[in-house]
């Protein structure tokens, strides 16, 4: 009797539906698919195609003029300059805590950090306070330290997060919980170094995002929209993007599928896309946002805002790719540019719709 051809038998079983094909390689994040589903089923937000096309050309030209690239990230005075494992843990700590800085207070009274004689608010206040703690000899980026309440009590962490203005940092207790939990997981599973997590992902950005979302609950922003599970993984994605940018697409920042990362759905990018005419809001929703009324995390309005913003940036990216093949402008660079530009417009006092008021750890 002839030997059985097991490969052929397995192929025939799979073709006839008796077995499921097991996909090899890195996992997909599903963020873009979630965004498309949300956009397709949105009733409160729409996209203006002509404005998207115009925005794509405007953004492409601006990125070229400003020489926007991964090198831009390290140029900021507060971002770390070294390219080592300590920097990885700095970035990991930073993105564990990188959420919810919006304030109803004035610029004079809102949460701020004065570092090296300069006052910082928003995201930069977080980076400043991490640097301030390290300068004070408090190893806030060491997971073995922050996960041990005996050597790092809440009182010390409260000192680290102290404000140089009247308002205290939002969601302080949530930040302490995220910091301790993620530090403990990093110690238990990765020997206290995020570099080990990166090595396991095999230079795949999408696989690394999934490992971060799987292993660290505070990065796992998943919701249900119109009967379907959707995910954004905003801070997991920005963690990978920050590493990619910091290491200038080399060493720990070398990912062969970095284009799988979408933009990072938060507060500020929808504002500038709205001002550019790309996003259009239903009157009731727009009135709610303009009145600065809170929108709960997971509310259909909030999910539509986040999902449609991701899909809008993806359409902008595709338009740039179509008209300027080989430009290598991905969703990350578009996001960095839009975020910085929106911040500049805000500081100049330009007339824009307010950021939506959702207080959560997800962005």
For every residue of 183-243, DSSP letters joined together read HHHHHHHHTT-HHHHHHHTTT-HHHHHHHHHHH-GGG--EEEETTEEEE--HHHHHHHHHH
Mean pLDDT score across all residues of the chain: 93
pLDDT in tens, 103-122: 999 989 999 999 999 999 99
Residue 275, phi-psi category: left (phi > 0), alpha (psi -120 to 50), beta (remainder): alpha
CA dist 190 and 178 (Å) reads 17
pLDDT in tens, 67-94: 777 877 888 999 999 999 999 999 999 9
For residue 363 the two structure tokens come to: 């962005």
State the Cα angle at 341 between 75 and 251, rounded to 5°.
35
CA dist 180 and 251 (Å) reads 28
CA dist 341 and 363 (Å) reads 18
Q: Which helix (H) or strand (E) holds 67?
A: none
Q: Does residue 266 carry a catalytic annotation?
A: yes
For residue 287 the two structure tokens come to: 């009135």
pLDDT at 18: 59
pLDDT band at 10 (very low <50, low <70, confident <90, very high): low
Higher pLDDT, 265 or 223: 223
Q: What is the mean pLDDT of residues 42-52?
A: 98
Shortest CA distance to 30 belongs to which of 298, 284, 301, 214?
214
Shortest CA distance to 242 belongs to which of 139, 319, 332, 123?
332
Question: Is the whole-model pTM more than 0.85?
Answer: yes
Shortest CA distance to 235 belongs to which of 9, 44, 31?
31
Give me the catalytic one of 95, 221, 266, 335: 266
- Across 5-19, 142-156, 242-256, least confident range: 5-19
Q: Residues 6 or more apart from 344 whose CB is under 8 A from it?
A: none
Q: Are 208 and 282 in contact (CB under 8 A)?
A: no
pLDDT at 1: 45
CA dist 93 and 116 (Å) reads 21
Report CA torsion sign: 42, 46, 50, 53.
negative
Find how far residue 186's CA is from the centre of its chain.
19
pLDDT in tens, 284-323: 999 999 999 999 999 999 999 999 999 999 999 999 999 9
> Would you call 348 helix, strand, or coil by DSSP?
coil
CA dist 322 and 355 (Å) reads 31
């Amino acid at each position: 009797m002839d030997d059985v051809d097991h490969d052929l038998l397995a192929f025939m079983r799979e073709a006839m539906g008796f077995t499921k094909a097991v996909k090899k390689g890195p996992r997909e994040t599903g963020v873009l698919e979630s965004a498309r589903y949300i956009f397709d089923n949105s009733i409160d937000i729409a996209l203006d195609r002509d404005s998207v096309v115009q925005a794509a050309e405007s953004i492409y030209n601006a990125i070229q003029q400003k020489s926007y690239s991964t090198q831009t990230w390290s140029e900021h005075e507060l971002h770390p300059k070294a390219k080592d494992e300590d920097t990885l843990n700095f970035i990991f700590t930073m993105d564990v805590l990188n959420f919810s800085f919006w304030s109803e207070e004035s610029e004079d009274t809102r949460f701020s950090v004065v570092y090296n004689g300069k006052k910082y608010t928003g995201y930069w206040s977080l980076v400043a306070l991490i640097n301030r703690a390290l300068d004070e000899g408090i190893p806030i980026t060491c997971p073995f330290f922050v996960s041990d309440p005996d050597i790092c009590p809440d009182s010390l962490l409260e000192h680290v997060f102290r404000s140089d203005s009247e308002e205290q940092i939002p969601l302080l207790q949530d930040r302490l919980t995220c910091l301790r939990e993620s530090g403990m997981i990093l110690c238990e599973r990765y020997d206290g170094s995020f570099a080990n997590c990166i090595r396991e992902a095999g230079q795949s950005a999408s696989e690394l995002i999934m490992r971060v979302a799987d292993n660290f609950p505070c990065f796992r922003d998943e919701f249900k929209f119109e009967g379907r599970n959707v995910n954004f993984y905003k801070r997991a994605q920005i963690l990978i993007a920050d590493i990619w940018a910091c290491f200038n697409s080399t060493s720990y920042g070398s990912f062969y599928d970095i284009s799988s990362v979408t933009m990072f759905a938060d507060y500020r990018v929808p504002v500038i896309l709205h001002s550019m005419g790309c996003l259009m809001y239903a009157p009731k929703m727009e009135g709610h946002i303009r009145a600065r009324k809170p929108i709960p995390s997971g509310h259909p309005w909030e999910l539509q805002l986040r999902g449609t913003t991701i899909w809008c940036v993806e359409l902008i990216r595709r338009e740039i790719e179509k008209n300027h093949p080989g430009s290598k402008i991905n969703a990350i660079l578009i996001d960095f540019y839009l975020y910085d530009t929106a911040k500049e417009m805000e500081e100049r006092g330009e007339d824009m719709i307010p950021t939506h008021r959702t207080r959560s750890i997800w962005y």
